[in-house]
Homo-oligomer: A and B are copies of this chain.
């Protein structure tokens, strides 16, 4: 008897009136799917993880997480905001231990695993270690960082930090923040102040419940002169009892769409005094006499942004891994409608339309991981180029900077379009599970609500897409002026050639044809935006106005360039993968390419790269590839290697025993009661009401006497 079989029987044992009909047994159905898998799932997992050692490390960490009582998540979907916050802080405490004893990469992996089922935790923990502590590290002088380390900034000994940047009135436009930091030369202090309601610090994660200190972004003012936005460490609470420091007002932002584990708060400062040296002075310095020294060169601060975006691309893939696993496993065992009356009903996964709904999302999940991996490598090689070029001839430095610029544009586009794609994927997967997708216990609702913030924070997606479009116009102009472009945008150097490119009689599955098609489409989109931009400038608009007037074209350019990056990145991965893996992933890569083309058919037709008949062929090919991928889909999600604990959705359980597992979860989460608590007060009076009869007071008889 197989292990899943035994497990099912064990669960069924608890149920009365349950017969399992072998013809409709979901465990058998899942086994049938696994038997279809024609490749070594384990090998694919190693490939995705970047090697067997990495997989084994992940599994070790997963085990330690699953066994940890503070990490339990079988009650997760029923917790109130208050409970989630406390639970999150327990996990915080737990992880703080590992951070001090494990290598950084291991802790990071551990954190990313926990965040699969609890992204709010990732943020709450990240607020201290990622935002607060990194800001300290990046902004402090040597003496300053020693001071803060001594005070417990890394060890959490007596201090937890938060990152007070955003205000009620300003998010994207950081330079316009209103909070002031006024130098008082007499006392050698800064006075931190919130001058208006809109200057209230807002959305500050950790502020409501956790933080003792913040890094505060404020306008530096000396002798009435503004010197721009700088960062200051401001103590918020006394660690002994969490009472507020004088002049600090903090409130709780309360309920959010999701991520209730984060205690976002608002902060108002009323003339709060801090020592001058609490201003982080690695770059801009303020002397005892109030003399400001700006750094000789504005820093190249792209680095942190790009690694942040890379993480979000990989996170988009991670989220989609969990979602597609649930939806595809459910589709592999759920049956509805029989093809022939009286026959066993058809599995959802066998419907062409259902394949159409899920297989492209599975392909996209892989595409996003490969794009994230590629971005990560590009970033590292660019950093190496920069390091090597230091002090060397200017051509090498120029090229490195050109690469960094491209990385900046590309990562902006990828962050935007991948977080959008994965947010959409969550709800598409939810919808594909019909009614059961709406149960909280199957995880989709929480996943969507938690992921929703990804598209507006860390750079609002629309703004990032427009920046990426602006950067593409820049590269196009560089090419026109004869400059050498970075690899990723090199195609913009051959716009003329690409304009007349056509798939023609060539095979639509040919990688060269696919690549050229995306380049042709992107080149056309970028050129359209660039030409419109020039036209507006010639008509007398300023640069900024001209960019504004080409918003929609810039957005489209970024959209098609980014999709092209994802498609061709998948093809690159296929070409570089070992033969065995390539064979497995080829249909998936082609599906992603065909589906992406179909979704943008208007652009390809406008570019004249494919003709109308070819667009029909591409649609048919997409259908065929969906079917091909469907046959391996169970293995393709198994390769993500997420245990049932991390899936945390009964209809997505590994062994296919969806009905008993789901029923069991629902029963355990909702112990039966007789009448609801409001029965006596609300229902009973309703049921026993006597409808007031139309008994009117009788009119007095006027004739009476």
Which chain A residues have a beta carbon within 8 Å of chain B's beta carbons? 12, 15-21, 24, 77-78, 80, 82, 85-86, 89-90, 92-93, 96, 100, 152, 155-160, 166, 168-173, 176, 194-198, 200, 202-203, 208-210, 212, 239, 241-244, 250-258, 263, 266, 268, 270, 335-339, 345, 351-353, 356-357, 423, 427, 430-431, 434-435, 437-441, 444-445, 448-449, 452-453, 455-457, 460-462, 466, 528, 544-545, 548-549, 551-552, 555, 600-602, 604-606, 608, 612, 615-616, 619, 622-623, 659-660, 662-663, 666-667, 669-670, 672-679, 682-683, 685-691
Knowing A93-B686, A195-B17 touch, does A456 contact B441 (C-beta < 8 A)? no
* Residue among A160, A434, A662, A685 with max Cβ neighbours from chain B (10 Å): A434
A456 & B439 in contact (Cβ 8 Å cutoff): no
A460 & B441 in contact (Cβ 8 Å cutoff): no
* Contact for A682 among B15, B90, B338, CB less than 8 A: B90
B77 & A80 in contact (Cβ 8 Å cutoff): no
A90 surroundings in chain B (CB, below 8 A): 682
Q: Please provide the 5 A-B residue pairs with the shortest distance between their CB atoms, ordered closest to farther.
A: A257-B445, A601-B602, A255-B440, A242-B675, A602-B602
B440 & A256 in contact (Cβ 8 Å cutoff): yes
B266 & A666 in contact (Cβ 8 Å cutoff): yes
* Contact for A456 among B198, B437, B462, B660, CB less than 8 A: B437
A683 surroundings in chain B (CB, below 8 A): 89, 160, 209-210, 242
A466 surroundings in chain B (CB, below 8 A): 353
A160 surroundings in chain B (CB, below 8 A): 683, 686-687
* Contact for A676 among B85, B257, B670, B687, CB less than 8 A: B85
Knowing A173-B336, A197-B660 touch, does A255 contact B453 (C-beta < 8 A)? no
Bound-state CA distance A457–B242 (Å) is: 49
Give the Cβ gap from A148 to chain B, nearest Cβ, in Å. 15
A251 & B670 in contact (Cβ 8 Å cutoff): yes
Determine the residue in chain B with the shortest Cβ distance to A685.
B93
Give the Cβ gap from A28 to chain B, nearest Cβ, in Å. 14
Give the Cβ gap from A674 to chain B, nearest Cβ, in Å. 6
Bound-state CA distance A90–B679 (Å) is: 11
A17 surroundings in chain B (CB, below 8 A): 194-197, 268, 270
Bound-state CA distance A449–B538 (Å) is: 48
Give the Cβ gap from A558 to chain B, nearest Cβ, in Å. 11
Bound-state CA distance A461–B677 (Å) is: 36
A662 surroundings in chain B (CB, below 8 A): 168
Give the Cβ gap from A523 to chain B, nearest Cβ, in Å. 15
A266 surroundings in chain B (CB, below 8 A): 663, 666
Determine the residue in chain B with the shortest Cβ distance to A18.
B197
Determine the residue in chain B with the shortest Cβ distance to A94.
B686
The 23 listed contacts between A and B (C-beta, < 8 Å) are A17-B195, A17-B268, A19-B196, A20-B197, A24-B169, A77-B255, A86-B677, A90-B682, A168-B659, A168-B663, A173-B336, A173-B337, A241-B674, A252-B672, A254-B669, A255-B439, A352-B552, A356-B552, A356-B555, A434-B460, A445-B449, A552-B619, A600-B602
Knowing A252-B672, A544-B339 touch, does A687 contact B157 (C-beta < 8 A)? yes
* Contact for A352 among B445, B448, B551, CB less than 8 A: B551
B197 & A166 in contact (Cβ 8 Å cutoff): no
Bound-state CA distance A335–B176 (Å) is: 11
A80 surroundings in chain B (CB, below 8 A): 80
Give the Cβ gap from A317 to chain B, nearest Cβ, in Å. 21
A686 surroundings in chain B (CB, below 8 A): 92-93, 96, 156, 160
A548 surroundings in chain B (CB, below 8 A): 339, 351-352
Bound-state CA distance A127–B361 (Å) is: 35
Bound-state CA distance A479–B100 (Å) is: 75
Knowing A251-B670, A339-B544, A449-B445 touch, does A456 contact B435 (C-beta < 8 A)? yes
A194 surroundings in chain B (CB, below 8 A): 17
A242 surroundings in chain B (CB, below 8 A): 674-676, 679, 683
Give the Cβ gap from A616 to chain B, nearest Cβ, in Å. 8
A461 surroundings in chain B (CB, below 8 A): 431
A460 surroundings in chain B (CB, below 8 A): 434
Knowing A198-B659, A449-B445, A462-B353 touch, does A93 contact B682 (C-beta < 8 A)? yes
Knowing A452-B427, A548-B352, A623-B552 touch, does A691 contact B100 (C-beta < 8 A)? yes
Bound-state CA distance A199–B337 (Å) is: 15
A549 surroundings in chain B (CB, below 8 A): 352
A456 & B440 in contact (Cβ 8 Å cutoff): no
Determine the residue in chain B with the shortest Cβ distance to A90.
B682
A158 surroundings in chain B (CB, below 8 A): 687-688
Give the Cβ gap from A312 to chain B, nearest Cβ, in Å. 15
A602 & B615 in contact (Cβ 8 Å cutoff): yes
Give the Cβ gap from A669 to chain B, nearest Cβ, in Å. 5
B86 & A171 in contact (Cβ 8 Å cutoff): no
Bound-state CA distance A263–B166 (Å) is: 40
A171 & B667 in contact (Cβ 8 Å cutoff): no
Bound-state CA distance A683–B159 (Å) is: 10
Bound-state CA distance A253–B440 (Å) is: 9
A93 surroundings in chain B (CB, below 8 A): 682, 685-686
Give the Cβ gap from A563 to chain B, nearest Cβ, in Å. 14
Determine the residue in chain B with the shortest Cβ distance to A335.
B169
Bound-state CA distance A674–B437 (Å) is: 39
Determine the residue in chain B with the shortest Cβ distance to A259.
B438
B431 & A456 in contact (Cβ 8 Å cutoff): yes
* Residue among A90, A210, A667, A689 with max Cβ neighbours from chain B (10 Å): A689
Bound-state CA distance A85–B266 (Å) is: 31
A672 surroundings in chain B (CB, below 8 A): 250-252
* Residue among A19, A357, A600, A602 with max Cβ neighbours from chain B (10 Å): A602
A15 surroundings in chain B (CB, below 8 A): 197
A453 & B434 in contact (Cβ 8 Å cutoff): no
Knowing A672-B251, A678-B86 touch, does A552 contact B195 (C-beta < 8 A)? no
Bound-state CA distance A427–B420 (Å) is: 11
Bound-state CA distance A475–B338 (Å) is: 26
Give the Cβ gap from A677 to chain B, nearest Cβ, in Å. 7
Give the Cβ gap from A106 to chain B, nearest Cβ, in Å. 18
Knowing A605-B606, A669-B254 touch, does A663 contact B200 (C-beta < 8 A)? yes
